[in-house]
Chains A and B, each alone.
Chain A
């Protein structure tokens, strides 16, 4: 009995310390995330404009949102960007990590630093830089294409090419994903490869049947985070295109920002924010269900 009581006391003691340790995060989360989120849910059914008296408007913000053609266009633009940029980013980062995980590569540390470096640059500065890189006549991208007799498009001026231009830009910001993959690759037990070699497996089979399953949690993590971030793409469009040309880069959060800070329609903007939240949570849930089929946690 004494032993049980002591164990329970210890557990209670540990629980208390657990909450003390996480309290800084917990307080911050409640004050700066959960509280504003709950407030925005309430605001989404009001005509809140910050400056004027607020009135309950039921679901009219949601109705107006769904009836707005630009709302659907902004969703279409965002889904296009996310569904293409996320897989491309993961594949590119994984390939890069595989290359830089090669122990025979000379200057490996230097290359890792170089490829990681764009990730630590401010996105605003990078956006200004990419305006020049994507310039149709003198930009480096089109100059490179011209060496192969390809006339590059007007990346930021042609509605058909603006989103691909921003996706190319995104592909240079893969440092964080690359580091995650590098860490995961180094955690794959060598004996698995040795056993596979004894069974006559080649490089591709080893990659497919050992590397991919063993790093699948890392792939899954980057996939989830990539999707969540891509659905909130804002800075590039705000700086580089202002949502144009012809709304080709009117992404969801940019449109939400316009409602909140240009039209003073915080209630409408809150409704948009909650719709985005529900979409992201639903997609993440689906991805988790789907992930349980292919993510290997080693158990």
Chain B
């Protein structure tokens, strides 16, 4: 009996050997799968595997990929969807490892950053092969996909920014609820923000008039920080190599934003009111009747219909400063792009063509109330009829004709960070850390440095 017993040492040795064997087995290359017995159901010999990554739009991706594979049985498409902003780090590491997907649906303003660093595949061959006509897309969406005269992405969907106002609050304040706020008159907007702000007996703000920035959070809106620059006829770059973040136009925007925040009580009051509002669709101070005006995206038409069906609101394009009736807009949104070095380009082109098609864009736009990047899909009766407010939807979609887009540059991420994100230019000014001129000067130096570094890095 004693001979059959394992000593503690032997037991540990066997365990170690077992573990090592398991690890080696796990590291071994898996043998090829045995052919299926059912010959009729066996996959075609030339099966191609493609990978598609998308930021959001999970249901659309699932539906369209299934449809594509049904129509193309020789192609298998794996898709992965990510939450907003979460795809970039993973795409970066996958690219470094040489395992980037064949096709991505990514934020369009990042395309130049990828293209400029050699991370995106030029689509020249695809455009020739599939006779892509740029004029079918909204101009801003197409221009945002170009870098140095080469197309690196195909626009998929877009979204605009508009001024929203609560008609009930306007009426209660004695204003005409059907007349949009005077967005061309920035001084009048300050007065309006103050007059619409309501406080409780202890001084706490109950209804906020207007905070023209998303720096505190998206509770106050989205995209206005860019919109005002174009409304003031400003721009972020003079050319591909020269930043202009200290221009008088941008300084005036920052000053105006600070003036409004100060007029309604200052940054601490604005921060306190804003605190605790999650940035999800069902929790909006505007939807809850606590914010009189905001700049935000057209997706709110559907969100408000769903979460705040009784909300009585107006929506209009933002006017050029001192030019009543002349409008500007901001087109954001996504595009379809092929990471550099992707394999199976011909099959990927076919998938790209399928996903960028009229039907695919329309399907996603009806489902999510996007604005399709294709004009014909955006203006289709089917899409307009699917909206909870077809008139507002029509106005939003048509406004893409004159919409602007974020600067197309490899340093778009840096510009976005300095101009929009917390902790940079707007914070410096709103918290009184720097005056407007100094903030813009510092921002200009940082962006120009990033631009110079980029051009040096590519030897140009």
A interface footprint on B11-39 (CB within 8 Å = 1, 0 otherwise) = 01100110110010000000000000000
**Which chain B residues border A21 with CB–CB below 8 Å?**
12, 16
Q: How far is the CB of A263 from chain B (nearest CB, A)?
A: 6
Contact B20 A261 (CB under 8 A): no
Q: Which of B268, B276, B458 contacts A52 (CB 8 A)?
A: B458
**Which chain A residues border B431 with CB–CB below 8 Å?**
159, 245-246
| Main DSSP-derived SS at the B contact region | helix
Contact A262 B417 (CB under 8 A): yes
- Residues 108-141 of B contacting A (Cβ, < 8 Å): 113-114, 117-119
A55 in contact (CB, < 8 A): yes
A interface footprint on B95-119 (CB within 8 Å = 1, 0 otherwise) = 1100000000000000001100111
**Which chain B residues border A24 with CB–CB below 8 Å?**
19-20, 23
**Which chain A residues border B414 with CB–CB below 8 Å?**
263
A135 in contact (CB, < 8 A): yes
B150 in contact (CB, < 8 A): no
Nearest to B272 among chain A residues (CB) is A154
Contact B275 A243 (CB under 8 A): no
B298 in contact (CB, < 8 A): no
Contact A137 B92 (CB under 8 A): no
- Residues 96-123 of A contacting B (Cβ, < 8 Å): none
**Which chain A residues border B315 with CB–CB below 8 Å?**
none
Q: A131-B276, A136-B276, A158-B271 are in contact. Are A17 and B117 (CB under 8 A)?
A: no
Q: How far is the CB of B97 from chain A (nearest CB, A)?
A: 10
Contact A51 B117 (CB under 8 A): yes
Nearest to B215 among chain A residues (CB) is A244
- Give bound CA distance, A27 to B26, whole Å: 14
- Give bound CA distance, A262 to B204, whole Å: 37
Contact A245 B95 (CB under 8 A): no
Q: Which of A50, A158, A247 contacts B96 (CB 8 A)?
A: A50
- Give bound CA distance, A137 to B89, whole Å: 36
- Residues 395-428 of B contacting A (Cβ, < 8 Å): 413-414, 417, 421-423, 427-428
**Which chain B residues border A157 with CB–CB below 8 Å?**
216, 268, 271-272, 274-275
Q: How far is the CB of B447 from chain A (nearest CB, A)?
A: 11
B interface footprint on A147-161 (CB within 8 Å = 1, 0 otherwise) = 000000011111100
A242 in contact (CB, < 8 A): yes
Q: How far is the CB of B89 from chain A (nearest CB, A)?
A: 4
Q: Which of B16, B271, B427, B457 contacts A247 (CB 8 A)?
A: B427
Nearest to A156 among chain B residues (CB) is B275
Contact B276 A262 (CB under 8 A): no
Nearest to B96 among chain A residues (CB) is A50
Q: A20-B20, A244-B422 are in contact. Are A51 and B457 (CB under 8 A)?
A: no
B392 in contact (CB, < 8 A): no
B433 in contact (CB, < 8 A): yes
Contact B423 A250 (CB under 8 A): yes
Contact A49 B117 (CB under 8 A): yes
Contact A137 B422 (CB under 8 A): no
- Give bound CA distance, A244 to B204, whole Å: 23
A139 in contact (CB, < 8 A): yes
A47 in contact (CB, < 8 A): yes
A58 in contact (CB, < 8 A): no
How many residue-residue contacts, CB under 8 A, span A and B?
Answer: 110
- Give bound CA distance, A27 to B453, whole Å: 38
B interface footprint on A263-275 (CB within 8 Å = 1, 0 otherwise) = 1100000000000
Q: Which of A23, A50, A70, A244 contacts B92 (CB 8 A)?
A: A50
Q: Which of A27, A52, A245, A260 contacts B117 (CB 8 A)?
A: A52
Contact A52 B118 (CB under 8 A): yes
A132 in contact (CB, < 8 A): yes
A241 in contact (CB, < 8 A): yes
Contact B457 A49 (CB under 8 A): yes
Contact A137 B427 (CB under 8 A): no
A interface footprint on B304-329 (CB within 8 Å = 1, 0 otherwise) = 00000000000000000000000000
Contact B423 A246 (CB under 8 A): yes
**Which chain B residues border A154 with CB–CB below 8 Å?**
268, 271-272, 275
Contact B427 A136 (CB under 8 A): no
B interface footprint on A19-37 (CB within 8 Å = 1, 0 otherwise) = 0110110010000000000
Q: A138-B276, A243-B423, A261-B89 are in contact. Are A47 and B268 (CB under 8 A)?
A: no
A287 in contact (CB, < 8 A): no
A282 in contact (CB, < 8 A): no
Q: How far is the CB of A75 from chain B (nearest CB, A)?
A: 15
Q: How far is the CB of B426 from chain A (nearest CB, A)?
A: 10
Q: A55-B457, A154-B268, A264-B92 are in contact. Are A247 and B423 (CB under 8 A)?
A: yes
A235 in contact (CB, < 8 A): no
Contact B457 A246 (CB under 8 A): no
**Which chain A residues border B216 with CB–CB below 8 Å?**
157, 244-245
- Give bound CA distance, A139 to B118, whole Å: 48
**Which chain A residues border B95 with CB–CB below 8 Å?**
50-51
Nearest to B113 among chain A residues (CB) is A264
**Which chain A residues border B13 with CB–CB below 8 Å?**
17
- Give bound CA distance, A262 to B119, whole Å: 14
- Give bound CA distance, A20 to B88, whole Å: 40
22 interchain pairs, CB-CB under 8 A: A20-B16, A20-B20, A49-B117, A50-B119, A51-B92, A52-B117, A52-B457, A55-B457, A131-B276, A136-B275, A136-B276, A137-B276, A139-B276, A154-B275, A158-B271, A243-B421, A244-B216, A244-B422, A262-B88, A262-B413, A263-B413, A263-B450
List 18 other contacts, CB 8 Å, given A24-B20, A243-B423. Answer: A50-B92, A50-B96, A137-B276, A138-B276, A154-B271, A154-B272, A155-B275, A157-B275, A242-B421, A245-B216, A245-B271, A246-B422, A246-B423, A246-B433, A261-B88, A262-B88, A263-B414, A264-B113
- Residues of A in contact with B (beta carbons under 8 Å apart): 17, 20-21, 23-24, 27, 47, 49-52, 55, 70, 131-132, 135-139, 154-159, 241-247, 250, 258, 260-264
- Residues of B in contact with A (beta carbons under 8 Å apart): 12-13, 16-17, 19-20, 23, 88-89, 92-93, 95-96, 113-114, 117-119, 204, 215-216, 268, 271-272, 274-276, 278, 340, 413-414, 417, 421-423, 427-428, 430-431, 433, 450, 453, 457-458
